[in-house]
Amino acid sequence: ADTCSGLPATCWQDPVSGAHVSVHFKPYTYTANGTFSIAAGNVAFHPGQNSQTVIRWASPVAGEINILGRVNSIHDSCGDGVAWSLNLGDRVLQSGSLVRGTGAVFSASKVPVTQSSAIYLVLDKKANYVCDSSTIDMLITH
């Protein structure tokens, strides 16, 4: 949709669990339970109460790819941070745990893929899912 909860964004959400992914068309500043901003074009995501949030990329090529990215826990005034992983299918390439308000860079070189291989960026809560808003930037090259 071209709006998400009244905001100029495209989003996919599960209203039952609270899990969502959104791409904002305009800069957005969140002002409840602290403040954070999301720039236009950024991808924001949040795990659900009892579920992970997963972003999937399907390879259009066969061969080797290189992945460079950054995951950021952007809600720095509450919550207990997030856990994340970068997966090729069901194999974890890299993973980590973020304290609220911090980020991590990840990279993987010469990852063998077939056409339609799936790369997943998985975001999970720690003890609770409150204040787990995060962003992802990722570049995949062949």
Domain boundaries, the chain: 9-141
Sign of the dihedral through C-alpha 13, 136, 60, 8: positive
Residue 102 in tokens: 């911090």
Closest CA to 93 of 63, 65, 74: 65
pLDDT in tens, 88-109: 999 999 999 999 999 999 999 9
User: Domain 9-141: which topology?
Assistant: Jelly Rolls (2.60.120)
Torsional sign, CA 93, 140, 9, 134:
positive
Name residue 136's beta-bridge partners. Answer: 43, 71
Residue 140's Cβ-side half-sphere holds a number of Cα atoms within 13 Å equal to: 20
Over the stretch 41-85, which tens digit does the pLDDT of each residue have? 999 999 999 999 999 999 999 999 999 999 999 998 899 999 999
Average pLDDT value over all residues in the chain: 93
Please tell me the distance from the alpha carbon of residue 26 to that of residue 7, in angstroms, as a whole number.
9
